[in-house]
Amino acid sequence: MLSLAAFRAGPDAGRALPSLLDGAQTRLVTSGRIAIGLALRALGVGAGDLVLVPAYHSPSMIPPVHWCGAEVVFYRVLPDTCADLDDIKARLADHPAVKAVMVTHFFGVPQDLAPLRALCDARGIGLVEDCAHCFFGERDGVAVGGSGDYAIGSSMKFFPIHEGGCLVSRRHALDARLHSAGPGFEAKAALAALETSFSYGRLPALRVMLALPLRARTLVWNALKAARAPAGTAGAAAAPSLAPSSSDSSYSFDPRWIDKRSSWFSRLTLRLVSHTRIVARRRRHYLALHEALHDTPGCRPLFAALPDGACPWVFPLLVEQTDAVAERLAHAGVPMVRFGASLWPGVDATVCATSVELGQRVIALPCHQALHGTELAWMITTVRQALQASAKVEA
């Protein structure tokens, strides 16, 4: 909810972690995928080039590569989601036309990118650091976004806003020029946030804030669209261009947003919301989920521990009876993320068995800063029950 509490530092003052935006050149755009397109363009990626992308990915990472005229080559990830450096070397040996590598800090845990940075430097290849899950954090004294030539963020995954992404660089000057998307868009961005806080029950509102692919935000946008432009009018035809695509509604890429600035409302929210509170509360919620579920039969946290320098996006759990448990959780109304459940066509076990397995088995639970203690407790009980019931059916 967009309650006033979200704007105060409150009692959650904890360890401050650097944000993606600290000390970097920044461009606030309307989505993470648009920022990927800008990063690749800044690296000079074009027709005939290849871009290495993790086989475990969000499908929204691929269309920006195609928009540049380049093709994607997938590389493997390890069971802990880290990039498989040996496989990256093998792909580079096979494909001399690789111009850039994309690497993702999955679920908010910063990876050690020093070896990959060194490899890219040695080969003269650009590095795009995908911090969509990692708006805050550091590893070995390096802030997230500090290793890539360019880094991108998906602000919606961390802030209570309906559009927003960022392109940042601590290594190069940014020359992308942005323009306002116009008063209709500005009004919509603000209205959507108010609509979320007033018209919906708490859990649906949370789903929107989590940017989950549950159509909740699409419903909000559609409701607004319908309210402003009756079907068949010129306004209705223009409406799609007033709502940028992002992970909740689809994986598509609309190049009309490439030079559009994020809304005033979103930019203000990024500035006003307490970053320390987001980090502290997300970490606390994650650790509570970990503590409550780590020894529950039928599941295992994907990460053995939460590193000090991490601010999690969600809490990923490896679940044995994944589909049965997911069905029960969906039925109970627990918001979850099945990251990687749909991979880009052609990415199967022959490309990377680990990615397919992660996509099938991970159920990620929210650790959003806006969660209440009672909701967290309810979620834990419901997950335990779903695991238990699914184990019984299996037995």
Footprint of ligand PLP on this chain (CB under 6 A)?
A: 31-33, 58, 60-61, 104, 130, 132-133, 154, 156, 165, 246-247
Tokens encoding 365:
């639970």
Closer to ligand PLP by CB, 152 or 371: give it.
Answer: 152
Numbers of helices and strands, H then E, in the chain: 13, 12
Beta partners for residue 104, in sequence order: 130
Closer to ligand PLP by CB, 169 or 247: give it.
Answer: 247
Closer to ligand PLP by CB, 19 or 246: give it.
Answer: 246
Beta partners for residue 266, in sequence order: none
Residue 339 Cβ vs ligand PLP, minimum distance, rounded to whole Å: 7
Tell me whether strands 25-29 and 50-54 are parallel, antiparallel or unpaired: unpaired
Residue 128 Cβ vs ligand PLP, minimum distance, rounded to whole Å: 10
Radius of gyration, alpha carbons of the chain: 20
256: left (phi over 0), alpha (psi -120 to 50) or beta: alpha
Residue 234 Cβ vs ligand PLP, minimum distance, rounded to whole Å: 28
Q: How many whole angstroms separate alpha carbon 77 and alpha carbon 52?
A: 12
Q: How many whole angstroms separate alpha carbon 263 and alpha carbon 180?
A: 8
Closer to ligand PLP by CB, 39 or 156: give it.
Answer: 156
Closer to ligand PLP by CB, 165 or 298: give it.
Answer: 165
Name the residue with the smallest CB distance to ligand PLP: 32
Residue 104 Cβ vs ligand PLP, minimum distance, rounded to whole Å: 5
| CA-based nearest residue to 51, from 63, 64, 41, 65 | 65
Q: The tokens 């997230």 sit on which residue?
A: 144
Residue 52 Cβ vs ligand PLP, minimum distance, rounded to whole Å: 14
Q: SS3 for 77?
A: strand
Which residues does 365 contact at the CB level (< 8 Å), separation at least 6?
A: 289, 314, 315, 317, 334, 335, 336, 337, 379, 383
Phi, psi of 63 (to 5 degrees): -55, -35
* CA–CA–CA angle 44, 47, 52 (5° rounding): 70
Phi, psi of 190 (to 5 degrees): -70, -45
Closer to ligand PLP by CB, 247 or 274: give it.
Answer: 247
Residue 58 Cβ vs ligand PLP, minimum distance, rounded to whole Å: 4
Residue 338 Cβ vs ligand PLP, minimum distance, rounded to whole Å: 12
Closer to ligand PLP by CB, 298 or 316: give it.
Answer: 316
Residue 8 Cβ vs ligand PLP, minimum distance, rounded to whole Å: 26
| CA-based nearest residue to 360, from 386, 332, 389, 321 | 321
Q: How many whole angstroms separate alpha carbon 75 and alpha carbon 73?
A: 7
Closer to ligand PLP by CB, 53 or 120: give it.
Answer: 53
Closer to ligand PLP by CB, 162 or 277: give it.
Answer: 162
Q: For residue 124, which amino acid is it? A: G
Residue 251 Cβ vs ligand PLP, minimum distance, rounded to whole Å: 8
